Amino acid sequence: MADNKFDLEDRLVEFSCRIIGLVEALPATRAGNYIAAQLIRCGLAPALLYGEAQGAESRADFIHKMKICLKELKETRVCLKVIAKAKLIVPIEKLVNIKSENEQLVSKVAKSIETAKKNLNSEKNSPKE
């Protein structure tokens, strides 16, 4: 069984690799090139930001970096919707799995932020020794 500590990191790295494949499959048109450039940035950013978050200087810094990670995942979601709606990848069924993974990652990162916020509030409210 995989080490749970690195489960999210591994999933984000795998997601980034899948985004690279998707970007390479987009048509070499003006629209395809534009969305490819945008998707390569926002689709790879979450894995890199998660790496930064792991080295956060404080719980608040971790939360901040994870929030940016979440924003990039949400931007990726919109890019995937545009690709599907504009039929830049056909058949659009090819996008089902990557869109599903994106949604799962959004949920996982959002939950991680929520947990970190609860822990930060607990630290602030706990009596000093």
What is the rounded CA–CA span in Å between residue 64 and residue 68? 7
Q: Let me know: does 98 contact 18? Beta carbons within 8 Å.
A: yes
At residue 115, the pLDDT reads 95
Average pLDDT of the segment spanning 70-92: 96
Average pLDDT of the segment spanning 74-93: 96
What is the rounded CA–CA span in Å between residue 45 and residue 39? 10
Distances (CA, A) of 13 to 19, 115, 128: 10, 22, 39
- Tell me the three state secondary structure of residue 60: helix
Distances (CA, A) of 9 to 18, 46, 89: 14, 9, 27
Whether 108 shows a pLDDT value over 60: the answer reads yes
Task: Assign 1 a pLDDT band (cuts: 50, 70, 90).
Answer: very low
The domain limits of the chain are 7-122
Flag whether the pTM goes above 0.95: no
Cβ neighbours for 92, distance < 8 A, ≥ 6 positions apart: 84
Query: Which fold would CATH assign to domain 7-122?
Result: de novo design (two linked rop proteins) (1.20.1440)
At residue 6, the pLDDT reads 57
Per residue in 13-25, pLDDT (tens digit) is 999 999 999 999 9
Per residue in 34-53, pLDDT (tens digit) is 999 999 999 999 999 999 99
Q: Which of 4-18, 63-77, 105-119 has the lowest mean pLDDT?
A: 4-18
